[in-house]
Amino acid sequence: MKARVQVMLKNGVLDPQGEAVRHALGTLGFDGVNGVRQGKVIELELAETDESAARASVEAMCRKLLANTVIESYAIEIG
């Protein structure tokens, strides 16, 4: 079973990488970009075959390692 985790900084947390990308886009002539938030996507190949058990396992992975829940939020897709 595959799982995909999208990790993003929470709203209100400064995103210097996103701001650098926004600035670079403006320099390249893309002036209509008012904001950029940068995150990460983690794809997992799981041995688990039960979707609810897989989701619970990935939730635990996110809380313990994949996301810093103080400043980041995450979304899980199982499929």
Quick one: pLDDT at residue 61?
Answer: 98
Give the amino acid at 39: G
Quick one: pLDDT at residue 53?
Answer: 97
Structural domain including 51 reads 2-78
What is the model's pTM? 0.88
pLDDT digits (tens, 9 = 90+) for 17-59: 999 999 999 999 999 999 999 999 999 999 999 999 999 999 9
Quick one: pLDDT at residue 25?
Answer: 98
The H or E element containing residue 19 is helix 16-27
Phi and psi at residue 13, to the nearest 5°:
-90, 130
Quick one: pLDDT at residue 55?
Answer: 98
Query: Which DSSP string corresponds to 22-78?
Result: HHHHHHTT-TT------EEEEEEE-S---HHHHHHHHHHHIIIII--TTTEEEEEEE
For position 39, which CATH number holds?
3.30.1280.10
- Residue 2's Cβ-side half-sphere holds a number of Cα atoms within 13 Å equal to 5
* Overall number of domains in the chain: 1
Quick one: pLDDT at residue 18?
Answer: 97
Quick one: pLDDT at residue 37?
Answer: 96
